[in-house]
Structure 1
Amino acid sequence: MKKWLAVFGSACAVFLAAGFAFTNLIMFMKKKTDEDIMKKETADGHDRFDSFQAMEKEEAVILSRHGYEIKGFYVAPHHTANTMIICHGVTVNSFNSLKYMDLFLNLGWNVLVYDHRGHGKSGGRTSYGYFEKDDLEEAVNWVRHKTGDGGQIGIHGESMGAVTALLYAGGHQDENGADFYIADCPFASFRDQLAYRLKREFRLPPWPLLPLADFFLRMREGYRIRDVSPLSVISRIQQPVLFIHSKEDDYIPSACSELLHRRKRGPKMLYLAESGGHAMSYTKNPESYRKAVQTFLDTMTQT
């Protein structure tokens, strides 16, 4: 009996250690340095850093309800209240958003770029969209206070930023939310994404790691894996959404955006880029990407 109890205790200890370690991987994913981001963006043809340093801009310091500061910049060269808020992906920061900033500036929109919690100069720790959606709400409020009620607010998100935008949209169906959303390569649910990566990277099944990680995330961070699910809120989003995804994305498959597009009610568009890996649709397909965004924006001004 003692032998079986010892075996059972050892097995429990192994499972708990594995769950704790896997949760650490989720909570403390290594972030890219500014130098790493600038080097990659420049190699991809997005050398915007010197011009960004030189351009006129306002530093944005936004207080999160979770007790830290969100740092960013508001760039407003146009005489309009129309503003795009750009949400970056995990491990990078607002430097990664500058290519999209240029895209929307050239289309006549002012832009707010900022570092998500746990990235760049902002405080907090990443939650893959769960707490980030609250910070996005504060960013929207900041823009409304800055510009008044006359203009439109759009949100462009890439990867985790797209998840953040959709989670925020699902909880804001009144006039205080944004007017439309562009979701570039989001996952449909955090649980399915983690299961997919476990299988591809480690050849491991989701059980028992995901239930254990879910338990530890709830205890340590205050949210659960199932709470980070655009699919669970997509049917509530009434505002227009443009879904973007590369057909070649093997990190978050394009089937995620296709599923979200099917489930979305009301105004929507889907643009599937022909080439490019994860979060590379604009880099590899700049002209068709711009055309899709312009077509979507044109429908916004006609409604």
Structure 2
Amino acid sequence: MKQLLRVFFSFLAVLTSLGVYFTNRIMYIQKKEDALIIQREKKAGRLNPLRFKHLPKREVFIDSPFGYLLKSIVVEPHQTKRYVIISHGVTENKMNSVKYMNLFLERGFNVVIYDHCRHGESGGKTTSYGYFEKYDLKAIVDWLKADQGSDLFLGIHGESMGASTMLMYAGMLEDGANFYIADCPFSDFRDQLSKILKTEMKLPAKPFLPLAELFLQIREKYSLRDLSPITVIENIHNPILFIHSEKDDYILPAMTKALYEKKKGPKKLYIARNGGHAQSLNENKADYEKVIDQFLEEYVFPVNYLR
């Protein structure tokens, strides 16, 4: 009997160690250093520090419903109530959003860039791939609507995890923007994590995925099944532009195609020919901008769209 108990508790200890290990990998994913992101964007010519410094802007800390602060920069060179919020990807920060910010500034929008929880200058202890982040995005939207008034015209652009966060915000909480642009989102995080286990860690999805899910529920009070934009995409009625690179081998373009197929109402799909994950703008700039303009002209400002 004592031998059986020792075996049982040893097995339980191994399971606990594995559960903690896998959930730590999820919750505390290694981020890129803020200085390296700035250096990378400067070197690529996507960030001009002098131009950025002189843009009319406000730095704002917005309250998250979870008790930390979200660092936001509101860039406002235009006398307009047209705004776009940029939602960056995991391991990045708001300075990665500057390239998208520039695109919308050129088209007459003011822009809000911000750091997700646990990224950049925002608070928060863990990353949840859209579960808590969607509520933070709602806090950003609510703050901007209170700041600008009821005649605000709003778009949201998201990259990677930021795109999935945006879709979950719109599909689960409120269809609160006039249009959305989803660049390389995952359609279901459980499927994405299963792929990462197989391709990067050389592990089968079973039993490791259920184990990670169990410990995530215990530690963070949400399930991997809660991170599924494709289950809520039909709740989004406003226009969505879906973007993905056909060469993306991290989040496969099939995920975006599935989201596009399931979305009802106004929508557009652009599969970029060049670049890997989250590189569609960087490697296809002219085509990316052309598709943005077509989308805005067709679905957002169908008459007399002005840059």
Alignment TM-score, normalising by the size of structure 2: 0.94
Partner of 1:282: 281
Shift of 1:220: 1.3
Distance in 1 separating the partners of 2:148 and 2:116:
22
Distance in 1 separating the partners of 2:245 and 2:137:
25
Partner of 2:169: 168
Partner of 1:81: 81
Partner of 1:135: 136
What secondary structure, in the 3-state scheme, does the structure 2 residue paired with 1:202 have? coil
What secondary structure, in the 3-state scheme, does the structure 1 residue paired with 2:261 have? helix
Partner of 1:148: 149
Distance in 1 separating the partners of 2:220 and 2:60:
27
Tell me, yes or no, if the aligned pair for 1:48 and 1:98 is still in contact at 8 Å: no
What secondary structure, in the 3-state scheme, does the structure 1 residue paired with 2:136 have? helix
Partner of 2:26: 26
What secondary structure, in the 3-state scheme, does the structure 2 residue paired with 1:302 have? coil
Distance in 2 separating the partners of 1:21 and 1:33:
23
What secondary structure, in the 3-state scheme, does the structure 2 residue paired with 1:157 have? strand
Shift of 1:43: 3.5
Determine if the alignment matches structure 1 residue 90 to structure 2 residue 90: yes
Distance in 2 separating the partners of 1:98 and 1:145:
24
What secondary structure, in the 3-state scheme, does the structure 1 residue paired with 2:77 have? coil
What secondary structure, in the 3-state scheme, does the structure 2 residue paired with 1:73 have? strand
Q: Flag the 1:296–1:251 CA change in 2: closer, same or farther, 3 A.
A: same
Shift of 1:172: 4.3
Query: Structure 2, unaligned stretches of length 5 or more?
Result: none
1:101 aligned partner, one-letter code: M
Write out the 4+ residue segments of structure 1 that deviate beyond 2 Å after TM superposition. Answer: 1-13, 42-45, 47-50, 171-174
- Equivalent residue runs for 1:7-46 within 5 Å: 7-46=7-46
Alignment TM-score, normalising by the size of structure 1: 0.95
Query: Structure 1, unaligned stretches of length 5 or more?
Result: none
Distance in 1 separating the partners of 2:237 and 2:220:
30
Q: Please provide the CA RMSD for this pair.
A: 1.5
- Equivalent residue runs for 1:106-125 within 5 Å: 106-124=106-124, 125=126
Distance in 2 separating the partners of 1:13 and 1:44:
48
Shift of 1:49: 2.8
Between the aligned residues of both structures, percent identity stands at 50
Tell me, yes or no, if the aligned pair for 2:275 and 2:283 is still in contact at 8 Å: yes
Partner of 1:159: 160
Partner of 1:259: 258
Choose 211-220 or 269-278, whichever is displaced more: 211-220
Shift of 1:143: 1.3
What secondary structure, in the 3-state scheme, does the structure 1 residue paired with 2:100 have? helix
Distance in 1 separating the partners of 2:173 and 2:80:
24
Tell me, yes or no, if the aligned pair for 1:193 and 1:252 is still in contact at 8 Å: yes
